[in-house]
Amino acid sequence: MKYRKILLIASALVLLGTAGCGKKETTSKEEPKETVQEEAQEDKSQSVEGAEVKQEEIPANQNLLTGLADLSEGAVGKRPVAVMVNNVQKAMPQYGVSQADVIFEIPVEGDATRFMALYGDYTKVPQICPIRSCRYYFPALSQGFDAFYVNWGIDDTIAEYLEALDLDQIEGITNTGGLFGRDQEKLNQGYSLEHTGYFDGTKLPAYIEANHLRTDLKEEKKGTAFPFNGMDEQVKPEGKDCTSVDIQFGAQSSQFTYDAEKKVYLKQINNTPQTDGKTGEQLAFTNVFVLETDISVRDEVGHKELDWDGSENSKGYYVSNGGVQEIHWSKESNNEESYLSFYDQSGKEIKLNRGKTYIALNYKDKASFQ
């Protein structure tokens, strides 16, 4: 069982700082990521075989999750926000999810899935519904982005683990800041209570200020979350053509269909378009990742044990711009605060096309690409 810093075996808890149980080591990055300030320096140039070539100027308001220049002035250099979202068919349609910059989809109990939606601009987080509870592997991933973590519901079996993470958690049951509520319209329509909780992200900046929470990114997190291709560059992955993706999680599935005109993959849930209930937009992503990993059941409730840090040999797929490429993926072993990284078959870190990204962590051999 791999709780990394705290290992839950029956009622025993291993103290903070203990290494994961027999976890393999992963080679860390050799070079730190560049900061936005470094990338945005003007008029930098270099000589290539006698010709002067100017480096691309990166806008100061670059969104570190997407590489796009869409941050508000007040969000530059600030922390993103990770929000847990219910993702079962009975909860559809969600709202607030079409604005997310990165979405993780991972199985929970019964092999249904849950979203962790990340927003790069904490001043522009919308109202989001329905909000759900935490599972330990989601904050293990969100910590790599230095994100605020938002959820509604507590799994007592991981309370010590979350405390050990020193997580900046905003939780719906204990929160008294007016950020959470029940969607009365959904209640009137007959939705079950667990499908009606919302988070009012529009109130988040005032809440953060009132509670004196840290907004500045840690120094080592001021670069982009992923390496990106050029601002106006669209690169096709080094593999075969791919215009559709099918991911089978167990109790539900996700599909993606390529829109060649917009260069995005449109998402379906159980072969039905997955749309935002307020904007009407179908979820769409420039980049789609399917990361294969080890998943098992760890208790009688059905909570999952999941390998969230991978290794240099962990298998995955990168889909973008009409193509699919087999990759390896990893985070630094036992280090929740490390970046999630993707590598080609030669071990070179790949660059992403700029735009929104979807990342599935799932069982092995449960995805097909056409």
Please provide the distance, in angstroms rounded to a whole number, between the alpha carbons at the two ends of the chain. Answer: 35
The Cα–Cα gap between 362 and 249 comes to 7
pTM of the full structure:
0.88
Pick from 252, 235, 331: which is nearest to 286 by CA? 235
Site of tokens 């089978």: 248
Helix %, strand %, coil % of the chain (to 5):
15, 35, 50
Domain 65-369 matching CATH 3.50.90.10: the answer reads yes
Report DSSP letters for 237-287, one per residue: -SSEE-SEEEEE-SS-EEEEEEETTTTEEEEEETTEE-B-TTT-PBPEESE
pLDDT of residue 332: 93
pLDDT of residue 3: 53
Q: Measuring CA to CA, how many Å separate 114 from each of 86, 217, 301? A: 5, 26, 16
pLDDT of residue 49: 55
Residue extents of the structural domains in the chain: 65-369
pLDDT of residue 264: 98
The Cα–Cα gap between 144 and 331 comes to 9
pLDDT of residue 51: 54
Inter-residue contact 285 to 264 (CB < 8 Å):
yes
Quick: pLDDT tens for 145-168: 999 999 999 888 899 999 999 999
Q: What is the DSSP letter of 111?
A: G
Biggest alpha carbon–alpha carbon distance for the chain: 71
- C-alpha torsion angle, residues 330, 332, 338, 344 (rounded to 10): -30
Quick: pLDDT tens for 312-347: 889 999 999 999 999 999 999 889 999 999 999 999
The tokens describing 19, both together, are 């290494």
Q: Which residues of the chain have pLDDT under 70?
A: 1-54
pLDDT of residue 155: 83
pLDDT of residue 312: 82
Pick from 61, 34, 54, 19: which is nearest to 219 by CA? 34
pLDDT of residue 25: 39
Residues with Cβ within 8 Å of residue 79, at least 6 apart in sequence? 122, 146, 147, 148, 214, 215, 216, 217
The Cα–Cα gap between 63 and 42 comes to 18
Q: What is the DSSP letter of 358?
A: E
